[in-house]
Amino acid sequence: MTATGAYDPSAYEPFAVTVDLAVLTVRAAAPHVLLIRRGQEPYAGAWALPGGFLLPRESAEEAARRELAEETGLPESLVDGVHLEQVRTYSDPDRDPRMRVVSVAFAALVPDLPEPVAGGDAAQARWVPLAEAEAAALAFDHDRILTDAREQVRAGLEHTCLATAFCPPEFTLGELQAVYETIWDTGLDRPNFRRKVLATPGFVEAVPGGARLTGGRGKPAALYRAGPATALHPPLLRPEDPR
Amino acid sequence: MTATGAYDPSAYEPFAVTVDLAVLTVRAAAPHVLLIRRGQEPYAGAWALPGGFLLPRESAEEAARRELAEETGLPESLVDGVHLEQVRTYSDPDRDPRMRVVSVAFAALVPDLPEPVAGGDAAQARWVPLAEAEAAALAFDHDRILTDAREQVRAGLEHTCLATAFCPPEFTLGELQAVYETIWDTGLDRPNFRRKVLATPGFVEAVPGGARLTGGRGKPAALYRAGPATALHPPLLRPEDPR
DNA sequence: CTCCTTTATAGTCATCGTGACTATAAACAG
DNA sequence: CTGTTTATAGTCACGATGACTATAAAGGAG
């Protein structure tokens, strides 16, 4: 901006500003996205990303977190910890047929947990496999938002520690590897993955007391928590040729 | 969003939407940013990033390119080729004391060329060394926008080919290396840099005819153009300890 | 014209990270 | 007990990279 000249109300046009959320998770070895079914025109009956208008004294980040709580029915304590990052802002003049709407898109990374409770004005909310969501025709320009969000998260796994955002507070290295394999749609060598993660300081830290996860088949795995690191140096590059 | 419910005008608040530009270049072995001096309140007399309001039927990208042309006085032919990328959107309710303004920030990467012509409503426009600009108190939240833009460009050099956006259409590998060294504020080994760039397919391609740049001191250097590649695989990582 | 400096370019060598792979441990299912 | 599954430890070769040396080709100083 912010207006470089005098404050002349005729110099600008008022817009509606919204947030759109690509809420991503990993369940059943496949990436999923939270979609809501629209109840009203336009695009009534179509699937769309959750989102909504900014309140008068609310930043886009605050609005995103509020909408996330409303549309998923998650308790506020959980929503507070969710990893939320801006994707980009969509401002095509014709993206909403009703009026001029500028939308700030966010990607939210959540662990696999609850079936969503349709709240707010969403007629229906559901976890949809990402492949299915991208094949469907979503409302507005949500196809593109979803594609951009997916690509941002895919790339982010290479250079940042945000894969842990998909995991519960305590997790095994096998679960962490499954996140990478699911989001990248590729296979990774288990010993090599382990070596790389443990060699990156601050990526994960062992749960004290030698806690292990039992109950599955196979040898019990050690439990880890997300460490203080945020970036990966050097990066964890995804293989060139997918599985 | 975009409104999930019915179209109820009372359900949303109108905002002003602007773009802010961090126009970056490399000159005299130092990164520079284009700043304008504000003529009116608020922040009259302070330095600020160029920018302005979106027109009624204009996307943020279009507005950014238009403002870039207006505030730099560059010919449209040059502005069309400028690399422009979204940084993020700033929506704090109090970021503009006059009214509610949401701003989409862009980073523009331009080769070292013209001293800007103050156009539009900018009282004065000038290339400012980046270090100086970051030390100064810019108008609004432009300090933070500038910091975010710088960090995005710094990181982008590692994984993408956008360093060529700082170079003229034809350039030497020495010039390209100078871009990296300037933006990263680090020193790079010349033979190693050369080996890495030439080993990355599509990063640069030699100008046909064995064209060389003469006139400087030292052996004439071969000329290259930006290649078709957009990403760097594997990345060109910046050294851990700066110069 | 002859050094000297500067920049470009061609190599070498050791090291480190990584991919591919083998081996062992510890659980559960039959 | 046996086989299957998952976790963890370790080996080996290759490729990318950092550090470094050497040579080529220009201009400038004397």
- For A121-174, write each residue's pLDDT tens digit: 556 889 999 999 999 999 999 999 999 999 999 999 999 999 999 999 999 999
pLDDT in tens, A29-61: 999 999 999 988 899 999 999 999 999 999 999
Binning pLDDT at 50, 70 and 90, where does residue A120 land?
Answer: low
pLDDT in tens, B101-133: 999 999 999 998 767 665 555 568 899 999 999
pLDDT in tens, B139-171: 999 999 999 999 999 999 999 999 999 999 999
The pLDDT, as a whole number, for residue B199 is 97
Q: Provide the mean pLDDT of chain B.
A: 90
Chain B residues 202 to 231 whose Cβ lies within 7 Å of strand D are: 214-215, 217-220
pLDDT in tens, B61-100: 999 999 999 887 778 888 999 999 999 999 999 999 999 9
* Strand C: positions under 7 A of a protein C-beta atom: 5-12, 17-23, 25-29
The pLDDT, as a whole number, for residue A2 is 43
pLDDT in tens, B195-241: 999 999 999 999 998 777 777 788 999 999 999 999 999 999 999 76
* Strand D: positions under 7 A of a protein C-beta atom: 4-11, 16-22, 24-28
pTM of the model: 0.92
Taking a contact as any Cβ pair under 8 Å apart, which residues of chain A between 147 and 176 contact chain B? 155, 159
Which segments of chain B does DSSP mark as H helices, in order?
A: 60-72, 76-81, 130-135, 142-159, 173-184, 190-199
| Residue ranges near strand C (C-beta within 7 Å) | A 189, 191-192, 195-196, 199, 212, 214-215, 217-220, 234-237, 239; B 172-174, 190-192, 194-195, 212, 216-222
Share of chain B above pLDDT 70, in %: 90
Q: Provide the mean pLDDT of chain A.
A: 90
Here the contacts of A72-76 (C-beta below 8 Å, separation 24 or greater) are A72/A23, A72/A34, A72/A114, A72/A116, A72/A117, A72/A119, A72/A125, A73/A114, A73/A116, A73/A117, A73/A118, A73/A119, A74/A113, A74/A114
| A59: helix, strand or coil | coil
Sign of CA dihedral A200, A203, A208, A214: negative
Please report how many Cα atoms fall inside a 13 Å half-sphere around the Cα of residue B226, on the Cβ side.
Answer: 18
Q: What is the mean pLDDT of residues A113-119?
A: 65
Sign of CA dihedral A152, A154, A155, A160: positive
B234 touches strand D (CB under 7 A): yes
Closest nucleotide to A173 by C1' from CA:
D7
